[in-house]
Structure 1
């Protein structure tokens, strides 16, 4: 009787200890908003506190069985023992979330536990878990906590992406673009940079004649041409309506004009069907080149680019015009 009470008391103390550990684990990863940071912090905590050797954490999004996010941590030595972990496994093929649910192709070296919502799996070294002498309930609780925190982080990342990008074209929106202009304008360097404001010519006529669906197709086409024609260091954005902007770091007047002319020609030179209609889009481009950042105001730079754009459209559109901006003289 006394031995049963002692055993029961021991179980209770172990359970309390494991609940406190789960609370500590949740505190370590629950406030992080980036999935990579969540997984990195989880791996560090599990190894430092529980002495568990984490091999991988893999997650799915969308359709079951398709890995769209996988990371994080893969020990070089253990990856030789379980090379399949480097590619990931389909959690939809697993059994229940208990210790005996590992996949046979991994042998006896790995314990793999699915998240309760089947959105992912955590794989740890079987030996390290057995040596720690914690219960199956703690392992399941770790998987559940990690699943919830990763889900929250992915949702935060998704909403953050939506708030930064234009929903139609996928380009940065105006608010983000102007913030990037501010950052560029405040850099302590003597190198010039350029701002392009690009207007889709006759867009109202396209909308009125062919409908807004076709107009949207043309906007998406121009956005795709921006991605194809500019450098990786350049930052294109949808500035509003039928207007786009591009920030060109470390770009002189001659270079900006050459890049803009090439883009303008490529937009009208590529034949594409829009809503089964043969439309030839053209663009007008205004360029503001900043040669001196001292006392530079972003509004001044945008205004100069807008004036250059107006000059490009005035005599017949489908042209490029430039303006030089100096902060000290502005």
Structure 2
């Protein structure tokens, strides 16, 4: 009994249109279909039926071919304009080969001759509606499959593009461009969590000003992107002004009120977030959907893997050219870069200077306070060097307690100025050593040399080393220069 009631309840949502000019037949058909639980409407004339079809989405129609005003075939044709998938059964008291052929050509589900058997009509209608629903469901399934296929193709294409890029800067820019293109968004940004895991900063973006990219900073937990970074959950906002969690007035810089924000995660570790706003595609909805959110989430999984790979590649590459203790470049990289800088000088006749430093009495410090304290000194000296040079300068750990700084486009007198700033900074530091944490001063000596066209790279290093030896010999904690005119 419950099953029967459930079936009748479902049929209430199935609409049938009965079109016949004979009142007895029309009322009889309406009665038998209502008895089966269908939602039934009727029309005596063809034009009346067409008017009803404009306002109602009928699942099926049973139409008399011969009507007083409009031919039943014409009514069928008009109904198909409003609903191409409608199931149409044609009935007639005047059967002919011609009308049967027309019914077939019009794709009528069935052609029934009056007088008809009520049981047969009910069965035909039931099968017709079921067939119509199956066709409709199959079409939806095919449409969904096509959408999923398109998503997979998009994801695979993005994955192939991203996996071939190991430079993090380039990768970040490609990610935002790809996502902006896929989602037809005017604005897309990639933000990374900083080392202290306090803030998000913009790594790459499209649709934002250079000033915003450089200065934007969001505290973890604040605003939408901060919340996503903290919770590790994706967010879809269709209208920011009435969103229950993040509702606020739409900012003037955004054209639309909809946005997506998705975390970039590796093993539940949030690397950053992707923000997508201002969806703008001609003739389409300008708000994001759950399908968009799902697609972006999968895309971000690929992006996160690519970012992690790029970071690991960068770490491995840095291990080959950097010193593990001080994070300065190593001697291998020094030789490589010095060769490139010398080539540049020979081509463009720019200035080039080199400074070599050595810590004073460092062995004594190590013997007194131990190598762990000595490592802290080396790291602090490296930081002092980095604080006093430009981005274009190259600081290296040459070996032991020796450091070298390459100064492109720098004359000797300017190199001496930089070297002395570094010496003063180092001497201003207080280092603790020993069980009693005794404060100790460390000094540093330096030698400067300027490259000449008749020199080799090795000679430039040798002359800076000679100047350093002179500084040591004169009492340490000073800067000396190598001069071509006076030798030293």
Structure 2 length normalisation: TM-score?
0.56
Cα deviation 1:193-221 (Å, max 9, x = unaligned): 22111111221111112211221232233
Structure 1 residue 190: Cα displacement: 3.0
**Quick check: 143-152 or 50-59, which moved more?**
50-59
Question: In structure 2, what is the equivalent of residue 44 of structure 1?
Answer: 177
Question: In structure 2, what is the equivalent of residue 196 of structure 1?
Answer: 355
Q: Distance in 1 between matches of 2:167 and 2:137?
A: 47
- Maintained 8 Å contact 2:190/2:202: yes
Question: In structure 2, what is the equivalent of residue 105 of structure 1?
Answer: 247
Is 1:300 aligned to 2:459, yes or no?
Answer: yes
Larger Rg belongs to: 2
Q: Distance in 2 between matches of 1:124 and 1:14?
A: 21
Q: Distance in 1 between matches of 2:334 and 2:416?
A: 21
RMSD: 3.5
Question: In structure 1, what is the equivalent of residue 84 of structure 2?
Answer: none
Is 1:90 aligned to 2:90, yes or no?
Answer: no
Cα deviation 1:134-166 (Å, max 9, x = unaligned): 935423322222222222223333444454432
Which aligned pairs between 1:3-22 and structure 2 lie closer than 5 A?
Answer: 3-22=136-155
Q: Distance in 2 between matches of 1:68 and 1:98?
A: 16
Secondary structure of 2:326's counterpart equals coil
Q: Distance in 2 between matches of 1:119 and 1:306?
A: 44
Q: Compared with structure 1, are the counterparts of its residues 309 and 293 closer, same or farther at alpha carbon in structure 2 (3 Å cutoff)? A: same
- Maintained 8 Å contact 2:193/2:201: yes
Q: Compared with structure 1, are the counterparts of its residues 105 and 72 closer, same or farther at alpha carbon in structure 2 (3 Å cutoff)? A: farther
- Maintained 8 Å contact 2:322/2:329: yes
Structure 1 residue 229: Cα displacement: 4.2
Question: In structure 2, what is the equivalent of residue 167 of structure 1?
Answer: 324
Question: In structure 2, what is the equivalent of residue 67 of structure 1?
Answer: 199
Higher relative contact order (CA 8 A, sep 6+): 1
- Maintained 8 Å contact 1:235/1:246: yes
Is 1:236 aligned to 2:395, yes or no?
Answer: yes
Question: In structure 2, what is the equivalent of residue 145 of structure 1?
Answer: 302
Cα deviation 1:209-260 (Å, max 9, x = unaligned): 2211221232233223323444555433221111011122233334434544
Is 1:272 aligned to 2:433, yes or no?
Answer: no
Cα deviation 1:171-200 (Å, max 9, x = unaligned): 222222222211221112334322111111
Q: Compared with structure 1, are the counterparts of its residues 325 and 177 closer, same or farther at alpha carbon in structure 2 (3 Å cutoff)? A: farther
Q: Distance in 2 between matches of 1:155 and 1:36?
A: 14
Secondary structure of 2:202's counterpart equals strand
Cα deviation 1:9-63 (Å, max 9, x = unaligned): 3322222222111111112222222334223212322333442344333232667
Q: Distance in 2 between matches of 1:223 and 1:207?
A: 17
Q: Compared with structure 1, are the counterparts of its residues 140 and 54 closer, same or farther at alpha carbon in structure 2 (3 Å cutoff)? A: same
Q: Distance in 2 between matches of 1:13 and 1:140?
A: 19
- Maintained 8 Å contact 1:91/1:119: no
Q: Distance in 2 between matches of 1:156 and 1:313?
A: 41
Structure 1 length normalisation: TM-score?
0.79
Secondary structure of 1:90's counterpart equals helix
Cα deviation 1:287-320 (Å, max 9, x = unaligned): 2221x325x4212211222233233334544444
Secondary structure of 1:170's counterpart equals coil
Is 1:183 aligned to 2:344, yes or no?
Answer: no
Structure 1 residue 261: Cα displacement: 4.5
Secondary structure of 1:169's counterpart equals coil
Structure 1 residue 8: Cα displacement: 2.1
Question: In structure 2, what is the equivalent of residue 252 of structure 1?
Answer: 411
**Quick check: 10-19 or 120-129, which moved more?**
120-129
Q: Distance in 2 between matches of 1:240 and 1:69?
A: 36
Aligned residue-pair number? 316
Structure 1 residue 271: Cα displacement: 5.5
